[in-house]
Amino acid sequence: LAKTTQPISMDSYEGQEVNITCSHNNIATNDYITWYQQFPSQGPRFIIQGYKTKVTNEVASLFIPADRKSSTLSLPRVSLSDTAVYYCLVGPDTGRRALTFGSGTRLQVQP
Amino acid sequence: DGGITQSPKYLFRKEGQNVTLSCEQNLNHDAMYWYRQDPGQGLRLIYYSQIVNDFQKGDIAEGYSVSREKKESFPLTVTSAQKNPTAFYLCATAQTASGNTIYFGEGSWLTVV
């Protein structure tokens, strides 16, 4: 399973764009990249998933370069409610593999 | 998430006791997982199951046991062999061929008293 590396923490202010990068140098050909958000005492929630290039949904964008050795989660115009831990998960079809999370990035949004 | 029910939400255990955490899902997902999270830390995989009557150890299986007799249910027993069981436990499910999209329950807090 591809090992992931993320910054331990990040700080931002309301209204700013936040970019969180995840490194996954040994990503395999059939691996997907998925980001999750976790609030205290809750289970992580799916944010966005991609395989290559760029993916955008109503809450975030995911940028994946051609070599796929890293990915960047972009949160536009963050608010206080975006304060959470963000996890990058890299792996193939869930039916054939365990899913191991990294340590995550703790994002603190200030007013 | 709405289709995954963990119970109880809070549980207190005396040292030397076994306790069982329940996880039930109505999402018809094949795979189920148990994670442990210590305060301020990431998620660590305890056990996972891909099909009924089959399960595999994760990174920290010692002191835990599971069963998968039904597709909908994946209970976790924390045995007395687990020396430091106080933690937040999360159950999760996933469908095959979903590109590692995993859905989590609300979690259970276990405290040793």
Q: How do residues B86-108 score in pLDDT, each as one tens digit?
A: 999 999 998 865 556 889 999 99
φ/ψ (deg, to 5) at A96: -115, 0
Burial A5-26 (b: 16+ CB within 10 A, else e): ebeeebebeeeeebebbbbbee
Tens digit of each residue's pLDDT (9 = 90 or more) over A9-30: 999 999 999 999 999 998 888 8
Q: Which residues of A touch B41 (CB under 8 A)?
A: 103
With beta carbons less than 8 A apart as the criterion, state whether A2 and A88 touch.
no
Which residue in A10, A9, A11, A38 sits closest to A111, CA to CA? A11
Which residue in B40, B50, B38 sits closest to B89, CA to CA? B38
State how far residue B105 is from chain A, nearest Cα, in angstroms.
6
User: Who among B1, B30, B33 is closest to A99 (CB)?
Assistant: B33
User: Who among B45, B96, B105 is closest to A100 (CB)?
Assistant: B45
State how far residue B20 is from chain A, nearest Cα, in angstroms.
19
Tens digit of each residue's pLDDT (9 = 90 or more) over A38-95: 999 999 999 999 999 999 999 999 999 999 999 999 999 999 999 999 999 988 765 5
Q: Residues B55-73: what's their mean pLDDT?
A: 96
pLDDT category, A3, cuts 50, 70, 90? Answer: confident
With beta carbons less than 8 A apart as the criterion, state whether A24 and A9 touch.
no
Kindly give, in sequence order, each residue whose CB lies less than 8 Å from that of residue A102, ignoring residues fewer than 6 positions away.
Answer: A3, A4, A5, A6, A22, A87, A88, A89, B42
